């Protein structure tokens, strides 16, 4: 196949930089993370960074894209394991709440991401998480399980509620106690979408 040693090495460089950035952004936050330190930790310099990602925002976008993809994959796997699509939606929401408890996700995707890259729905990476949820919602509407609401708006609301629930949980004095409350409140809310309450 011999894709060429050049492209191959460049991929390794990109992956290495994204990994270092992910760590630095998670620990120090976007604004406080120094490009010099970050690239040095990856055994490179800023030259590589600007060559591969254009600027600091481009690097953040790459990191967010990676995390977003991982989250969507995890959520999908969890939803698929549920008995019914409706249970799948609830499980998906709960999964998002738990994932958003990880400092990495919280700091990078929920706090710095929107502030630096703007609204997630217009991220180039076209938010995989949102798409996953939207498709689930659409299917549930088609099946008559949910009221005929707008699937995009609803997916956004559900994700927003879940992620905010996680922020609240993480900020509470005892997250372990808060988590079940957050998940319960989330499940209550979600029931409002059911065509036939109960």
Q: How far is the CB of 45 from a second copy (least distance, A)?
A: 24
Considering only 27, 29, 55, 135, the residue that binds DNA (CB under 7 A) is 55
- 86: contact with a second copy by CB under 8 A: no
Instruction: Provide DSSP, the chain.
Output: ----HHHHHHHHHHHHHHHHHHHHHHHH-TTT--HHHHHHHTT--HHHHHHHHSSHHHHHHHHHHHHHHHHHHHHHHHHHTSSSHHHHHHHHHHHHHHHTTSHHIIIIIIIIHHHHH--GGG-TT--HHHHHHHHHHHHHHHTTSB-S--HHHHHHHHHHHHHHHHHHHHHSS-HHHHHHHHHHHHHHHHHTTBSS--
The smaller minimum CB distance to DNA, of residues 50 and 168, is found at: 50
Examine residue 135 and tell whether it contacts a second copy (CB under 8 A). Answer: no
Would you say 42 or 165 has its CB closer to a second copy? 165
Q: Judged by CB under 8 A, does residue 144 bind a second copy?
A: no
> Residue 73 CB, nearest distance to a second copy (Å)?
22
Figure out which of the listed residues 19, 44, 111, 152 binds DNA, where binding follows CB under 7 A: 44
If one asks whether residue 196 binds DNA (CB under 7 A), the answer comes out as: no
Partner whose binding site includes residue 35, from DNA, a second copy, none (CB under 5 to 8 Å by kind): DNA
Closest to a second copy by CB, 40 or 115: 115
By a kind-dependent CB cut-off of 5 to 8 A, residue 116 interacts, out of a second copy, DNA, none, with: a second copy
For residue 107, give every residue at least 6 positions away whose Cβ sits within 8 Å of its Cβ, in sequence order, or none.
25, 26, 29
Residue 111 contacts which entry, a second copy, DNA, none (Cβ below 5-8 A, type-dependent) = a second copy
By CB under 7 A, residue 13 contacts DNA = yes
Q: Are 39 and 45 in contact (CB under 8 A)?
A: yes
57 part of the interface to DNA, by CB under 7 A: yes
CB nearer to DNA: pick between 52 and 66: 52
């Amino acid at each position: 196949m011999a894709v060429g040693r050049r492209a191959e090495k460049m991929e390794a460089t990109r992956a290495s930089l994204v990994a270092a950035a992910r760590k630095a952004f998670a620990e120090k936050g976007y604004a406080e993370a120094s490009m010099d330190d970050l690239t040095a930790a990856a055994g490179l310099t800023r030259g590589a960074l600007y060559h591969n990602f254009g600027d600091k925002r481009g690097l953040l976008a790459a990191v967010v894209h990676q995390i977003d993809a991982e989250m969507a994959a995890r959520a999908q796997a969890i939803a698929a394991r549920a008995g019914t699509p409706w249970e799948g939606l609830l499980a998906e929401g709960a999964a998002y709440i738990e994932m958003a408890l990880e400092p990495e996700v919280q700091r990078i995707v929920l706090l710095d991401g929107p502030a630096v890259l703007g609204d997630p729905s217009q991220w180039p990476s076209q938010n995989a998480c949102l798409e996953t949820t939207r498709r689930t919602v659409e299917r549930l509407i088609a099946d008559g399980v949910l009221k005929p609401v707008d699937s995009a708006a609803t997916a956004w609301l559900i994700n927003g509620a879940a992620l905010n629930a996680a922020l609240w949980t993480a900020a509470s004095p005892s997250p372990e106690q808060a988590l079940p409350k957050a998940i319960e409140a989330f499940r209550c809310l979600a029931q409002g979408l059911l065509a036939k309450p109960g």
